[in-house]
Amino acid sequence: MEHVIKELNEFLKGQYMGIHSYEHYIQKVKDSKIKKEFQQIQQEHKIHAMKVAERIQNLGGKPVDDEGFVGSIQGFINQLNLPDTPEGLIKGALKGEDFGIQMSEEIVKGDLDAESRELIEEILDRDRQHTFLLSKLIQ
């Protein structure tokens, strides 16, 4: 189970990166409709993080409580490069979601137990819906 806990913690770090990224987007965007979408997606990432943390605890592990050192450095760099336009912010969020999905798919390719895999698949499905919602905002 130790490897499952490790993989779930890596996935959890990604959820924290998403939460923090959306915080930066929310602070920067002026359009209330876009801000509301960003807030909704951020809320879902918080719920996902909570569910994954609970799963780790139920497996006897200790969940991480942030994105880790590498994630915090990436977040800081991304914050410096945030665009000023609503479309630029949406594209940045979309790029982040896509990257998060790709990284998460890599993380969970390993040997997860059935319950953990089901949880992660549900979260990834929802993250894919985020990309759909964000791309509709650009049109």
pLDDT digit string, tens, across residues 25-79:
999 899 999 999 999 999 999 999 999 999 999 999 999 987 665 555 565 456 5
Q: Taking each helix axis from N to C terminus, what angle separates 86-107 and 2-28, rounded to the nearest 10 degrees?
A: 180
For 1-7, what is the mean pLDDT? 91
C-alpha 83/C-alpha 29 separation (Å) is 10
pLDDT number for residue 40: 96
Which element (helix H / strand E) includes 99? Answer: helix 86-107
Residues 71-81 as b/e (b if ≥16 CB within 10 A, e otherwise) read beebbeebeee
Higher pLDDT, 67 or 9: 9
Q: Which domain does 106 fall in, by range? A: 1-136
Which residue type does 72 have?
Answer: S
The pTM for the full model equals 0.87
**CATH label of the domain that carries residue 85:** 1.20.1260.10
Residue 71's pLDDT is what? 53
At 112-130, the pLDDT tens digits run 999 999 999 999 999 999 9
Q: What is the pLDDT of residue 136?
A: 92
98 vs 80, which has greater pLDDT?
A: 98
d(CA 116, CA 7): 10
How many CA atoms does the CB half-sphere of 80 hold within 13 Å? Answer: 5
Confidence of residue 81 (pLDDT cuts 50, 70, 90): low
How far is residue 5's CA from residue 112's CA, in Å, rounded to a whole number? 9
Three-class secondary structure of residue 67 per DSSP:
coil
Closest C-alpha among 20, 132, 26, 109 to residue 65: 20
Q: What's the pLDDT score for residue 14?
A: 86
